[in-house]
Amino acid sequence: MKCGKRAVLTLFVLTALCGRGILSGDSFRREQQRYARVRQASGQAQPRLEALFRKAGLDYPAREVLLRVFKLEGELELWARNDKNSPFILVQLYPVCAASGTVGPKRREGDLQVPEGFYFISAFNPWSHFHLSLRVNYPNAADRILGDRRHPGGDIFIHGSCVTIGCLPLRDGPIEEVYLAAVDARDAGQAHIPVHIFPCRLDGSWLRLERESWRRPGLMDFWRNLKEGYDLFDKTHRLPKVSVDHRGKYLFH
């Protein structure tokens, strides 16, 4: 089953909430609490989240959160900060418990790839076939330039249930924590929750990707471009501003 099976319903929820002004942040949590799975997650996962935030030296809920994903390592990081002037702090690392495709970006519908690049959460799905899910805004501006113009694919989610075809699955406990942290950050006024997806940790050992790049021209240049944004955040723990030029290259400010 495709992980975006209920994408139409998800987008309906998002559109409805936008039309009612709920995504402005003043009552998003209250709206989400209308759904049984979110209420259940709040009872079970919020105490764990509060303990994780205390351990990281942060108040819960956070003013802003950030998700970073590393495909080869199979890991998702939850970062947070309590005010816009502070650096982000790592709160928790979660295993991505199933995978499809390989390293490298998603370029067309049906390629089973998980995207790579700089994204944000575009929808919350409290009745997903996969417990709870957060939609990633693939294809972004870079993907629309570099991928299949007519059939780039879509419906990329971070979700529960530990099954996937091209998405990012967590177990149900972790997705409850990530989902609630995102809900509460949106409620606090974070309009765009960033999701950075990398082929692996682009540190000193990232050149292990070079063998894969030999088979796919241009791939190493793409990864070097991702590394620019990776290094900027790793250095300061602050988010770079990201834009895309006419060639589909990410620019960082």
Q: Are 135 and 157 in contact (CB under 8 A)?
A: yes
Question: Measured between alpha carbons, how far is 112 from 69 in angstroms, rounded to an integer?
Answer: 17
Within the chain, where are the H helices? 7-19, 28-32, 36-55, 141-146, 172-187, 210-214, 219-236
What is the DSSP code string of 72-105?
TTTEEEEEEESSTTSPPEEEEEEE-----S-SS-
Whether pLDDT at 70 is above 80: yes
Any idea where the domains of the chain sit in the sequence? 7-199
Q: What are the pLDDT digits (tens) for 197-216?
A: 999 999 977 777 877 776 77
The pLDDT value recorded for residue 3 is 66
Please give the torsion angle defined by the CA atoms of residues 124, 145, 230 and 199, in that order, rounded to the nearest 10 degrees.
80
Question: Hey, what amino acid is at 243?
Answer: S
- pLDDT-derived band at 15 (thresholds 50, 70, 90) equals very low
Question: Measured between alpha carbons, how far is 221 from 214 in angstroms, rounded to an integer?
Answer: 11
- Stronger pLDDT, 194 or 22, i.e. the higher one: 194
Kindly state the average pLDDT of the residues 159-179: 94
The pLDDT value recorded for residue 164 is 83
Q: Give the residue from 44, 69, 79, 81 showing the smallest Cα distance to 170.
A: 69
Kindly state the average pLDDT of the residues 13-33: 59
Q: Which CATH class for the 7-199 domain? A: mainly beta
Q: Which residues contact 225 (CB under 8 A, 6 or more apart)?
A: 249, 250
Q: Which residues contact 11 (CB under 8 A, 6 or more apart)?
A: 123
The pLDDT value recorded for residue 27 is 87
- pLDDT-derived band at 17 (thresholds 50, 70, 90) equals very low
Whether pLDDT at 25 is above 90: no
Question: Measured between alpha carbons, how far is 225 from 5 in angstroms, rounded to an integer?
Answer: 32
The pLDDT value recorded for residue 11 is 45
The pLDDT value recorded for residue 217 is 76
Q: What are the pLDDT digits (tens) for 214-251?
A: 677 789 999 999 999 999 999 999 999 999 999 999 99
Q: What are the pLDDT digits (tens) for 127-145?
A: 999 999 999 999 999 999 9
Kindly state the average pLDDT of the residues 50-63: 97
Query: What burial letters (b/e) apply to 170-190, b meaning 16+ CB within 10 Å?
Result: bbbebbbbbbbbbbbbbbbeb
Quick check: bond before 217 cis, omega within 30? no
- What whole-number percentage of the chain has pLDDT above 90? 80
pTM of model > 0.95: no
The pLDDT value recorded for residue 216 is 76
**Residue 76: beta bridge partners?**
69, 94
The pLDDT value recorded for residue 209 is 81
What is the DSSP code string of 102-113?
-SS---STTS-P
Q: Scanning the structure block, which residue is given the tokens 């950050």?
A: 185
- pLDDT-derived band at 95 (thresholds 50, 70, 90) equals very high
